[in-house]
């Protein structure tokens, strides 16, 4: 138990790992501390200032829970009149500068700002005395896969840190100052003109509705599978609705990808639903392709393959096949057809 630390949060005994922050220890125990800028995969920055807590005893002071590591014997209180007032003021200022049309937001009922506002208890009368933003900022719809609405952005910086710390792309950052601060690409140009790789990692971490996937439909259930676009073996959770794939997200338990996806894995599933996708073997007859049964198609292949051998034959493998299937194809090409003319479509 040398690496375990015991502390008290709201009169509850909590066992935490050495090096944990107060926020991490509380959340693991099921104790909610309001926060917007925290994400378990990113370095803490304390930007939103909502996770302030009070430490009693010899360490008595008010600290930011996401950046303060636990200590043995520490006594923490997450709710005091002073802290609640600070949180309420901070949330009110965020809402005053925020698009409040929640029903039209893709993050409705899943929004971290909604949860924080509900927790601190937002007073309508107090909100009415605040000056709200009159001018709407333009929505960036330039990317084919997602939209960025700066009117719903809370400047938590999660998207910026995701692009920097996890993806190492640095396509976006804070731009301008004061009330004019916003998240933007270089030169405040449309997102499609930036170095953004459209991986979508910023979308899945956005706590509000600022970054949303286009044409998103909420799935009724999910199917666990593996991405077919290359041989990395990234884990997918495909969202299914009405027997159609409507979404894809990374599988956090996959040892290869650990929840991460590229643009192909996250947005490349739409081909499955395409009406022109082949669903049966086709044979050209009288200049037109007609559907045939698999047995007939295999007989035709056998006949055609018997007419070729050596360098008159070539095969192209597919990343949408398993490694075992691709191995069999190359073995067939070399051992049966007698040629090394085989290639693969995957190019990373």
Q: Which two tokens stand for residue 87?
A: 């949180």
User: Which residue do the tokens 């085989």 mark?
Assistant: 342
> What contacts 24+ positions apart, CB below 8 Å, involve 298-302?
none
| Burial (0-12, 13-18, 19+ Cβ within 10 Å), 51 | buried
pLDDT in tens, the chain (348 residues): 568 899 999 999 999 999 999 999 999 999 999 999 999 999 999 999 999 999 987 768 999 999 999 999 999 999 999 999 999 999 998 988 888 888 988 898 899 999 999 999 888 888 888 777 777 899 999 999 999 999 999 999 999 999 999 999 999 999 999 888 999 999 999 999 999 999 999 999 999 999 999 988 999 999 999 998 877 889 999 999 999 999 999 999 999 999 999 999 999 988 888 888 888 999 999 999 999 999 999 999 988 888 888 889 999 998 778 888 999 999 999 999 999 999 987 665
d(CA 142, CA 144): 6
Q: Residue 285's CB: how many other CB atoms inside 10 A?
A: 9
pLDDT score for 285: 92
The reported pLDDT for the residue numbered 59 is 67
| Confidence (pLDDT) at 344 | 86
Predicted TM-score of the model (pTM): 0.83
- What domains are there in the chain, each with its CATH number? 4-128 (3.10.20.740), 217-277 (2.20.25.90), 308-344 (no CATH)
- Read out DSSP for 69-94? B--TT-EEES--HHHHHHHHHHHHHH
Report the distance separating Cα 299 and Cα 301, nearest Å. Answer: 5
Contacts of the segment 79-86: beta carbons below 8 A, 24+ positions apart? 79/10, 80/54, 82/54, 83/52, 83/53, 83/54, 84/120, 86/49, 86/52
The structure tokens 């007609």 sit at: 290
For every residue of 224-289, DSSP letters joined together read EEE--SSTT--EEEEEEETTEEEEEEE-TT-TTTTT---HHHHHGGGGGG-TTS--S-EEEETTEE
For residues 142 and 122, give the distance between their C-alpha atoms in angstroms, rounded to a whole number.
35
Residue at token pair 């509380």: 26
Interior angle at CA 107, CA 101 and CA 112, nearest 5: 95
Question: Does residue 40 contact residue 51 with C-beta atoms inside 8 Å?
Answer: no
Tokens, residue 146: 């997602």
| pLDDT reported for residue 347 | 61
Q: What is the largest CA-CA distance in the chain?
A: 90
């Amino acid at each position: 138990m040398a690496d375990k630390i015991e502390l008290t949060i709201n009169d509850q005994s909590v066992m935490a790992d050495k090096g944990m922050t107060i926020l991490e220890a509380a959340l693991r125990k099921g104790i909610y501390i309001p926060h917007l800028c925290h994400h378990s995969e990113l370095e803490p920055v304390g930007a939103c200032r909502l996770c302030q807590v009070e430490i009693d005893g010899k360490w008595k002071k008010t600290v930011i829970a996401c950046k303060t590591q636990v200590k043995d014997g520490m006594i923490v209180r997450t709710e005091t009149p002073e802290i609640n007032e600070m949180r309420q003021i901070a949330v009110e200022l965020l809402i005053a500068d925020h698009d409040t049309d929640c029903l039209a937001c893709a993050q409705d009922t899943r929004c971290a700002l909604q949860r924080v506002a509900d927790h601190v208890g937002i007073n309508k009368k107090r909100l009415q005395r605040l000056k709200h933003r009159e001018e709407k900022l333009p929505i960036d719809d330039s990317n084919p896969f997602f939209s960025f609405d700066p009117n719903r952005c809370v400047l938590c910086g999660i998207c910026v840190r995701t692009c920097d710390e996890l993806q190492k792309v640095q396509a976006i950052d804070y731009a301008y100052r004061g009330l004019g601060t916003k998240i933007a690409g270089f030169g405040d140009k449309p997102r499609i003109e930036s170095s953004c790789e459209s991986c979508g990692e910023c979308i899945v971490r956005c706590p509000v509705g600022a970054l949303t996937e286009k044409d998103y439909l909420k799935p009724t259930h999910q199917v666990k599978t593996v991405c077919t676009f290359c041989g990395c073996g990234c884990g997918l959770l495909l969202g299914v609705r009405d027997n159609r794939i409507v979404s894809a997200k990374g599988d956090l338990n996959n040892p290869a990808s650990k929840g991460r996806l590229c643009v192909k894995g996250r947005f490349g599933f739409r081909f499955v639903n395409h009406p022109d996708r082949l669903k049966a073997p086709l044979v050209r007859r009288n200049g037109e392709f007609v559907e045939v049964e698999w047995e007939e198609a295999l007989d035709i292949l056998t006949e055609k393959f018997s007419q070729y051998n050596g360098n008159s034959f070539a095969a192209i493998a597919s990343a949408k096949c398993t490694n075992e299937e691709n191995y069999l194809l190359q073995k067939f090409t070399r051992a049966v057809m007698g040629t090394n003319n085989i290639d693969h479509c995957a190019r990373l």
